[in-house]
Amino acid sequence: MKYEFPSDFWWGSAVSGPQTEGVHENDGKGASIWDQWYQEDPEAFFDQVGPEETSLFYTKYKEDIQLMKQTGHNSFRTSIQWSRLIPNGVGEVNQKAVEFYNNVIDELIANDIEPFINLYHFDMPMALQEKGGWESRETVDAYVEFAKICFDLFGDRVKKWFTHNEPIVPVEGGYLYQFHYPNIVNMKKAVQVGYHTALSSARAIKAYHESDQDGEIGIILNLTPSYPRDENNPEDVKAAKIADAIFNRSFLDSSVKGEFPSDLIELFDEIDHLPVTEPGDLELIKNNTVDILGVNYYQPRRIKAKESDTKLADGPMPDDYFDYYEMPGRKMNPHRGWEIYEKGVYDILTNLRENYGNIKCFISENGMGVEGEEKFINEDGQVEDDYRIEFLKDHLRYIHKGLEEGSNIRGYHMWTCMDNWSWMNAYKNRYGFIAVDLDDNRKRTIKKSGYWFNELSNNNGFND
């Protein structure tokens, strides 16, 4: 059977500025929370590899864009690092950053690769974090100024903008589960941070739509379908619905429908955790929803009714309302500890079609991080990552099914282009179509999956 996709389907990959560019002498970049955290606690990072080098995209972007061509990219997402463009978060613009992002955008376009640009990928400028980061409403104002500057500088050529990547992750990592700076556990602050992020997104969308630009603007969400252990057990179903409200619908509803889910509001109200808002905010969020939705899909969330009485913290936590369920026989990616459940991507598309007006969308990340890929290097020096090709096919079959049933899906971006720096996991797990040799000046070599993806993109599909 041939799995055929529309001729204008977007094929490509996603990266982020902080995970690929590196920090270079005299580049004028200010510190972000990642630079600061690494300075404070290098041991928190796998093998103590920090954010200074990453994959050296800052200097190797031309070579990388040629590799993108060879791996079938017709589109590519990266992010503009706020702390590179505006080192203090507000105020002076770094002209070296303007030059760098202009060069990258121009080089992509010259090679027929459409740039998709995201404005925030977990990388708060340290100068703003010191004043509270997303806890503070001033950060929302600063972010909107940053967004407007980006639209003015690059919007003549960039026609796909995204306000945030996975906005729930800094809420979870920074304020609940301690895997992002500032690493505190405080659900009240987490809610405020989430609220300000949602508000910032709507305000950036408003600014874009009010400008004379003619592209589209959206948001990228990591949607983790929330499956109850037993669909016939009301307590499991209720617990799964709460997890869905907190981790998915919080940003999905506010971004696509312009309103927060009523069950989430009730839950926060009951524990006196409603965020501080200002008059007019909710109307602004209602009137400024996304044109397009990026869906990052890695894993499902399996939930059962609360059984244990373990408390993760003194104060309230999401986990007070549910327990995680380890489904017997589930397929795991042992390197990342994430379940692989291909059908999840189809369930997301169906949900968007049935409950979110079939919003225009694309898969903006999907991928498989594997440790020790050196084991799979053949005598020609190529990583034979057949498991990644299988992973791709398994997901694409379900995406195709969604398409056939009428889902408004426009493309598929893999995480990621070249192996990159994965935050606290640094270079532990490799995700790329292109291997990066840390011991040889970050030398790049296309993996087997990269060649497979090239064929997929050239044929707009694959035979099975």
Residues noted as catalytic:
166, 365
Minimum Å distance from CB 165 to ligand BG6?
Answer: 5
Q: Which of 423, 427, 452, 453 contacts ligand BG6 by CB under 6 A?
A: 423
For position 422 contacting ligand BG6 by CB under 6 A, the verdict is yes
Number of residues lying near ligand BG6 (CB under 6 A): 15
Minimum Å distance from CB 367 to ligand BG6?
Answer: 7
For position 34 contacting ligand BG6 by CB under 6 A, the verdict is no
Residue 137's CB: how many other CB atoms inside 10 A? 18
For position 365 contacting ligand BG6 by CB under 6 A, the verdict is yes
For position 433 contacting ligand BG6 by CB under 6 A, the verdict is no
Matching residue, tokens 């105020």: 91
DSSP 62-110: HHHHHHHHHTT-SEEEEE--HHHHSTTSSS---HHHHHHHHHHHHHHHH
Minimum Å distance from CB 16 to ligand BG6?
Answer: 5
For position 268 contacting ligand BG6 by CB under 6 A, the verdict is no
Q: Which whole-number Å values give the CA distances from 183 to 26, 168, 196, 371, 380, in the listed order?
A: 30, 15, 18, 26, 44
Sign of CA dihedral 32, 37, 42, 48: negative
Peptide bond between residue 87 and the one before it cis (omega within 30 degrees of 0)? no
Q: Using CB under 6 A, which residues numbered 167 to 196 contact ligand BG6?
A: 169
For position 120 contacting ligand BG6 by CB under 6 A, the verdict is no
Rg (CA), the chain: 21
Minimum Å distance from CB 122 to ligand BG6?
Answer: 7
126 neighbors 82 (Cβ within 8 angstroms): no
Sign of CA dihedral 313, 317, 323, 327: negative
Minimum Å distance from CB 35 to ligand BG6?
Answer: 16
> What is the DSSP code (8-state) at residue 454?
H
Minimum Å distance from CB 220 to ligand BG6?
Answer: 8
Q: What's the CA gap between 452 and 411, in Å, rounded? A: 17
Q: Which is nearer to ligand BG6, 77 or 249 (CB)?
A: 77
Q: What's the CA gap between 149 and 151, in Å, rounded? A: 6
Q: Which of 16, 71, 226, 250 contacts ligand BG6 by CB under 6 A?
A: 16
Q: Which is nearer to ligand BG6, 122 or 143 (CB)?
A: 122
Q: Which of 13, 83, 165, 449 contacts ligand BG6 by CB under 6 A?
A: 165
HEC profile of 250-303: HHHHHHHHCCCCHHHHHHHHHCCCCCCCCCCHHHHHHHCCCCEEEEECCCCEEE
* x/- letters, 372..411, toward ligand BG6 (CB under 6 A): ----------------------------------------
Point out which span in 150-158, 165-173, 387-395, 445-453 binds ligand BG6 (CB under 6 A). 165-173
- Partners of residue 323 on adjacent β-strands: 304
Q: Which is nearer to ligand BG6, 78 or 222 (CB)?
A: 222
Q: Using CB under 6 A, which residues numbered 287 to 346 contact ligand BG6?
A: 296, 336
- Partners of residue 443 on adjacent β-strands: 437
Structure tokens at 183: 């690493």
For position 415 contacting ligand BG6 by CB under 6 A, the verdict is yes
Q: Which is nearer to ligand BG6, 5 or 423 (CB)?
A: 423
Minimum Å distance from CB 26 to ligand BG6?
Answer: 27
400 neighbors 447 (Cβ within 8 angstroms): no
For position 143 contacting ligand BG6 by CB under 6 A, the verdict is no
Point out which span in 66-74, 161-169, 270-278, 391-399 binds ligand BG6 (CB under 6 A). 161-169
Point out which span in 75-83, 163-171, 255-263, 382-390 binds ligand BG6 (CB under 6 A). 163-171
Phi, psi of 439 (to 5 degrees): -90, -5
- Partners of residue 227 on adjacent β-strands: 302
Question: Burial of 273 by CB count in 10 Å (0-12 exposed, 13-18 middle, 19+ buried)?
Answer: middle
Peptide bond between residue 416 and the one before it cis (omega within 30 degrees of 0)? yes
Structure tokens at 176: 């609940």
Q: Which of 71, 429, 449, 457 contacts ligand BG6 by CB under 6 A?
A: 429
Minimum Å distance from CB 276 to ligand BG6?
Answer: 28
Q: Which residues contact 405 (CB under 8 A, 6 or more apart)?
A: 350, 353
Point out which span in 202-210, 239-247, 268-276, 422-430 binds ligand BG6 (CB under 6 A). 422-430
Matching residue, tokens 């532990």: 428
For position 461 contacting ligand BG6 by CB under 6 A, the verdict is no
For position 227 contacting ligand BG6 by CB under 6 A, the verdict is no
Minimum Å distance from CB 292 to ligand BG6?
Answer: 17
Residues forming contacts to ligand BG6 in the complex (CB under 6 A) are: 16, 19, 165-166, 169, 222, 296, 336, 365, 369, 415, 422-423, 425, 429
